[in-house]
Structure 1
Amino acid sequence: MKNLFYRLIIFLDTASEEDTNYNIALFMANNFYRISSMRINELADACFVSPATISRFCKSLGYENFAHLKQECHSFHSNDKKFNNLINVNLNTMAKDPREASHIYVGQIIETLETMEETLDWHVIDQVLKLIHDHQNIVFFGTQFSNSAAVHLQTDLLMLEKFTVAYMDSERQKERAKEMGKDDIAIIISVNGNYLYSGYKTLQYLKKSGCKIVLITCSDRDCLHIPVDYYIKLSNLKDGKSGKHALLTAIELMSLRYYTLYYPSSLNDLMGHMY
């Protein structure tokens, strides 16, 4: 369900206000709790568009139709534990003693990060960094925080003169997967291995393409149900919630490692590299 909020935010942050779909997304964001009880004609009238336009927008968000989106909205409303997916801390503890809640959560993060020293395979990471350096078309795939981490790495690599692609929109990821070839590199970032559920079609396109596939995750190698060529295990999670901290740490370490391996070490080297 969180994926819907993520996609709405991404769309509103990147689309033009002149875009017809922008008004639909804005209405949904401001009237989310009404959507599950609205008919498609009601939503269309509220947004001054046709029902067909509503249907197309729902498909662009990854839903089969408006009824599918309504079903997920209804499920979200009926779930009184909707915020339990944020961190693995008891809500009563946070309400009564936020200092104790902080202590618990920080302890979980420390435990997750400490396992990374043994879990990260730098031989594999160096192979992946060489792929990034040597190949032209590097595309990141992921959702939500994993996608944000991909953009973080993409930005670092661009500062080191390496252009990569990290689309925030899942539909653009799927379309790009259709175009991938055997000389391309797909880097799938999925902290808990859940990309299988939101990106199933994208994964099938990647499998068919013959491209090299890199998986960065805290989960098992086969969590995506497709073969992967390079597997970077971030950490062994006990709580299932602190993996994003392992991912961000690994991304920053990978950026620094890429710098030490491939970036010119002096200004003269840099000038020769540029010309």
Structure 2
Amino acid sequence: MNLLIVRLITFLNGQTTETTNYHIAVTMLNHYDNICSMSIGEIAKLCDVSKSTVSKFARTLGFDDYIDLKDNAVFIENRFNNPLNYVSNIITSIENEGYNEYFDAIIKDIDFFKSHFDLSIFDRVAKEIYTHDKVMAFGLIFSESAAIDLQYKLAYNGKFIHTFQDDLVQENFLRTAKEDTLILIFTNSGNYLTKQQIRAGTPKKSFFSQTKAKIIVISSNPKVLDFPFVEDAIIFPHQTNYQTHTFMYHLITDLIVARYRKIKNNEVPYDR
């Protein structure tokens, strides 16, 4: 997905509607197709604010200036030639193959996971969540939705973990995280660990090697276990070309919370 769209939506989700920046963000989204051809003066006039206010807003979103924001406004479907992107993999496939194939793929992945999952990994993850006071859960876009889902599910059971939707805030936290922190990473492809997935050119990501936190990954890619900074992983291999991870994440977070409850209630032994 386009970086500017992601940051605008993330920004809006954390703002009240009365602020000037909220108005600028909504205006940009409502006129998104025109941003690439608009000068800072034109966008300022459209938003009924000064050019300096637009510049400050661009920096608020994490861009160097308005030019940087504008460069990241170009929306090209599957601009990074990723066949697993949402529209190409899900929507276009539904259009071409029909709904039955999609339903069958979801059922096939769930059935495979049901027959092959190892409960011990869920106990290990749940124990780490139970024994760490500082627990974070991160992902991008749909994977970040899974992190938020886990946050709410654990809160229902008295465990409060944290997440950030902002990709820059996630990265800064990862760089400086200490040994007392557990970080759960939701990444279907595993690319979150190595690439800046929503930035032009998908530049390499290296700060995982710098973090001191304990990293546990939830992914369809078993190769994430090869990274030296990954402590453990829950793997759910896809059985078709459909990327059904949004459904699989819900099952996995339910199982994590179910085992967490067992540990919290002393029904599953663990080493303190």
State TM-score, norm by structure 2: 0.80
How far 1:217 moved relative to its partner?
Answer: 0.7
**Percentage identity across aligned positions?**
27
Corresponding residue SS for 1:209: coil
- Provide the residue aligned with 1:145 in structure 2: 142
Q: Distance in 2 between matches of 1:204 and 1:52?
A: 34
Which residue does the alignment assign to 2:260?
Answer: 258
1:219 — aligned with what? 221
After alignment, is 39-48 or 27-36 more displaced? 39-48
Aligned twin of 1:33: 33
User: Which of 96, 111, 115 is residue 112 of structure 2 equivalent to?
Assistant: 115
Q: Do the aligned residues in 1 keep the contact of 2:55 with 2:65 (CA within 8 Å)?
A: yes
| Distance of aligned partners of 1:52 and 1:185 in 2 relative to their CA distance in 1, 3 Å threshold | farther
Shift of 1:136: 0.6
2:129–2:135 Cα contact (<8 Å) kept:
yes
Are the aligned partners of 2:179 and 2:212 in contact in 1 as well (CA < 8 Å)?
yes
Q: Distance in 1 between matches of 2:179 and 2:235?
A: 24
Q: Judging changes above 3 Å, is the alpha-carbon distance between structure 1 residues 203 and 18 closer, same or farther for their aligned structure 2 residues?
A: farther
Residues in 1 aligned to 2:118 and 2:64: alpha-carbon distance in whole angstroms:
40
Query: Partners in 1 of 2:68 and 2:184 — Cα distance?
Result: 29
Contact in 2 for aligned 1:191/1:217 (Cα 8 Å): yes
Aligned residue runs from structure 1 range 236-251, under 5 A? 236-251=238-253
Whether the 8 Å CA contact 2:196–2:203 is kept in 1: the answer is no
Whole-Å Cα distance in 1 between the matches of residues 266 and 87 of structure 2?
Answer: 46
RMSD, aligned α-carbons: 3.2
Q: Partner amino acid for 1:135? A: H
Corresponding letter in the other structure for 1:35? I
1:170 aligned to 2:167? yes
Q: Does 1:197 align with 2:196?
A: yes
Paired residues, number: 257
Gapped regions of structure 2 (runs ≥ 5): 80-84, 268-272
- Residues 260 and 230 of structure 1: CA distance in aligned 2, closer, same or farther (over 3 Å): same
What residue in structure 1 maps to residue 88 of structure 2? Answer: 84
Tell me the amino acid that sits aligned with residue 54 of structure 2. Answer: I
Q: Which has the higher contact order (CA 8 A, sep 6+)?
A: 2
Pair 239,39 (structure 1): closer, same or farther in 2 beyond 3 Å: same
Matched, 1:106 2:108: no
In 2, Cα distance between equivalents of 1:134 and 1:77: 43
